[in-house]
Structure 1
């Protein structure tokens, strides 16, 4: 979710980042019988251990036990997707589309997806690439329509036995995020990709958030409001909703971009993580707390800082972006994929080692790859994207088989039935065809469409292996 706007910005980020860096079931279900039923793949994923219907249970919160995630005392493996725009579609407003949200959730469920990572925050402000409307208006007041849109999305996610990670802000500009909270406190802001402030100026400036009392107060007010919210449609308190897997502090929060800024902001960064985790737990004892960090790419290679950042939270997160990080070239995927794959595998190995040493689960909660030739058109082929997904899924499945820390992944992202409205594949104010590629990015860059049959089949096969391709599922 922390990708740059336009090719120039992308090159700057590449140059800056490169070098930094049951109880699972004992009785096997006949495969043909299970898959012949209506929504069979959905049934698989609604069950973490493959037999319980979590949608009908009232107390099936996801919990952590060592490196495992559990639900109803069963091993809960994640086959996930990013659907940041769920609350926008769920809004009963001109920008909402509840009928489409239901269709997208049904498609994801049929693929075997059991977990969605969605935005539960967006801050309106002056940043040129930030989406509007937001959860909070420019004056800090709440937007009831979007909060109710989240209510609708969570109600429907729960009906399908799925879970969600709710992201409480953003280090990057496309949803307003921490930079906008700083603006509200100081009257000053910086746009990502501004030629006058080349990378890593934006990241260094945004990291000042962690020590700004006024900005922190506004952030905490939103956290407290959401964690303490009662769903307007179901009457259920969010703190008592088992469809929430985790509260996530922010999307890709970094302590800075330059080494100097990271050193300067380190203590405030770690204090923000610990104090926010404490705040959430004081309001909600039922749900996990996560950070949303990319891993060592966020710390300029420091494993020690990744460990320190994840001490107060329940599981380790990693995001992997081979194109953005300069590990592959979009116009030469055949030539650069072999070395890129090796870097992906090494990144996975490093973060599995970190998680295992911490005795915590690891989730690769963002991983994305372009279409062949870095095309945006849904008709473009996805051969190398498929290779990349298989690399991630192979690592996840190996961890499932061997009882490792890597508990699952969330691909970036689901575009579904949305299509770019303009020939240049750019989002414009007033467009309502939200897709997994945020509005500041080319529409179709990383997201999977409902017409991507090969990608959908690949995700479905991975989901099926969660229950049927492993000799013995590990008991809790």
Structure 2
């Protein structure tokens, strides 16, 4: 009786123990899998070069600013994996996207210090998908423009809280209360533990780096001192939390009054009055690489296409020369595009525009120059027409354009000392001469 009773009790215990062991082993395997993935190396900098595991990383990539926003809802979430997988198949290594949405629809930050966990989980998903497809992310932290809240929303919050010093959008840069709001946001974001991978953002090497602010301008202070002070403080703050990732500003690349010899490179005289200064802003010690945008359609109103191409070459070469000789840092052209709203627009013009940019990067890379890479604005997938602008495209819908980007991926990878960063590159480039 005792023996029978003992066996009757023993079998359920053994069954329960087996379940516990199975569950433990399953989660242990998952943990090991993520631990293995986390052994991916961080991108670092050695002088004017991006480095991974002692080899040079030249960047060929793109912008899809919309990833977090579209990851919130189940019906659109598939677009994230589809876009990242498509980019990876093209041999692209970096995607730039927004890691902010302040007070807008699907806001990540609802009000200062208040976050929507549903949207944070969407950003977790974006980062996890990037790991899955081997595409690194350049994550931008706030917008100078009003889209997705931007500095305008921070100023509104300060007024609503009764602490705002000024109604000017530029008070974002000098109001101490708004600076505290932004620092709290940065701290929350960088120390966020991804609910899918279990890795804190600041410890995740799939993140290429952080961008302080998209296209900063402080027009109320053309001397540039106000913006410079903000960049000094915020770059040091980011590095105090996370010294593993690279950091850039997010500049358009305009030269300011502290760079008198370069003012003639600017598109027009107004570019020196915006409170930003490419060299001065980029030489801050905590800024690891310089960022530049290329939009002659927005900057000129009377130029013909050939004139825009001439400007484009001078613009890029000037900034690469600054990276080589003044900054001693990599220069990344983090946005570039040609508008399809131009009255004389033809798709072949866009291909020539892209080719000029990609060729300039390749020539710099061949001589170990500071031209670290370029990110086209912007890629989408089919069915996203309402989110498009006059620069966007589905890259695989035009064979000539698609070929430009895959060719660039391959020739950069074949340079001496270059790292084979994308697992698709070996197969992709074996098909090319």
Q: Distance in 1 between matches of 2:105 and 2:301?
A: 33
Aligned pairs (5 A) from 1:378-389: 382-389=347-354
Q: 1:343: Cα distance to partner?
A: 0.9
Equivalent in the alignment of 1:402:
367
TM-score by length of 2: 0.78
Whether 2:158 is the aligned partner of 1:185: answer: yes
Relative distance call for 1:185 and 1:444 in structure 2 (3 A) is: closer
Equivalent in the alignment of 1:87:
68
Equivalent in the alignment of 2:204:
241
Equivalent in the alignment of 1:457:
403
Listed one character per residue, the Cα deviations across residues 116-140 of structure 1 (whole Å, up to 9, x for unaligned) are: 101001111xxxxxx5122112565
2:228 counterpart (241, 264, 270): 270
Equivalent in the alignment of 2:336:
367
Relative distance call for 1:452 and 1:275 in structure 2 (3 A) is: same
Equivalent in the alignment of 1:445:
390
Q: 1:327: Cα distance to partner?
A: 5.9
Greater than 4 Å deviation, 4+ residue runs: 372-375
Whether 2:278 is the aligned partner of 1:306: answer: yes
Q: Distance in 1 between matches of 2:298 and 2:137?
A: 26
Aligned pairs (5 A) from 1:223-302: 223-256=186-219, 261-263=221-223, 266-296=224-254, 300-301=271-272
Aligned pairs (5 A) from 1:277-356: 277-296=235-254, 300-301=271-272, 305-310=277-282, 311=284, 312-326=286-300, 336-356=304-324
Relative distance call for 1:149 and 1:298 in structure 2 (3 A) is: farther
Compare 390-399 and 308-317 and name the one that shifted more.
308-317
Listed one character per residue, the Cα deviations across residues 57-114 of structure 1 (whole Å, up to 9, x for unaligned) are: 61500001100000111101101100111112222x35x6222211111111111111
CA contact (8 A) 1:364 1:408 kept: yes
Name the structure with the higher helix share: 2
2:101 counterpart (102, 116, 122): 122
Relative distance call for 1:374 and 1:70 in structure 2 (3 A) is: farther
Equivalent in the alignment of 1:128:
none
Q: 1:224: Cα distance to partner?
A: 0.5
CA contact (8 A) 1:80 1:116 kept: yes
Equivalent in the alignment of 1:31:
none
Q: Distance in 2 between matches of 1:175 and 1:351?
A: 29
CA contact (8 A) 1:327 1:339 kept: no
Q: Indicate the SS of the match to 1:175.
A: coil
- For structure 2, list consecutive stretches of 5 or more residues without a partner in the other structure: 1-35, 162-166, 258-270, 420-433
State the superposition RMSD in angstroms.
2.5
Aligned pairs (5 A) from 1:12-51: none
Listed one character per residue, the Cα deviations across residues 244-298 of structure 1 (whole Å, up to 9, x for unaligned) are: 1111111111232xxx6322xx333112111111111111121111111111168
Relative distance call for 1:67 and 1:83 in structure 2 (3 A) is: same
2:122 counterpart (135, 149, 155): 149
Q: Distance in 1 between matches of 2:369 and 2:114?
A: 44
Compare 281-290 and 357-366 and name the one that shifted more.
281-290
Relative distance call for 1:372 and 1:85 in structure 2 (3 A) is: closer
Aligned pairs (5 A) from 1:93-172: 93=73, 97-124=76-103, 131-138=104-111, 141-172=114-145
CA contact (8 A) 1:317 1:363 kept: yes
How many residues are treated as equivalent by the alignment? 361
Relative distance call for 1:205 and 1:355 in structure 2 (3 A) is: farther
Larger Rg: 2
Q: Distance in 1 between matches of 2:339 and 2:330?
A: 28
CA contact (8 A) 1:135 1:147 kept: yes
Q: 1:371: Cα distance to partner?
A: 2.9
Q: Distance in 2 between matches of 1:278 and 1:183?
A: 26
CA contact (8 A) 2:341 2:390 kept: no
TM-score by length of 1: 0.71
Relative distance call for 1:269 and 1:122 in structure 2 (3 A) is: same
Equivalent in the alignment of 1:34:
none
Q: Distance in 2 between matches of 1:307 and 1:105?
A: 33
Q: 1:473: Cα distance to partner?
A: 3.7
- For structure 1, list consecutive stretches of 5 or more residues without a partner in the other structure: 1-54, 125-130, 189-203, 330-335, 421-426, 428-434, 436-442
CA contact (8 A) 2:255 2:277 kept: no
Relative distance call for 1:229 and 1:138 in structure 2 (3 A) is: closer
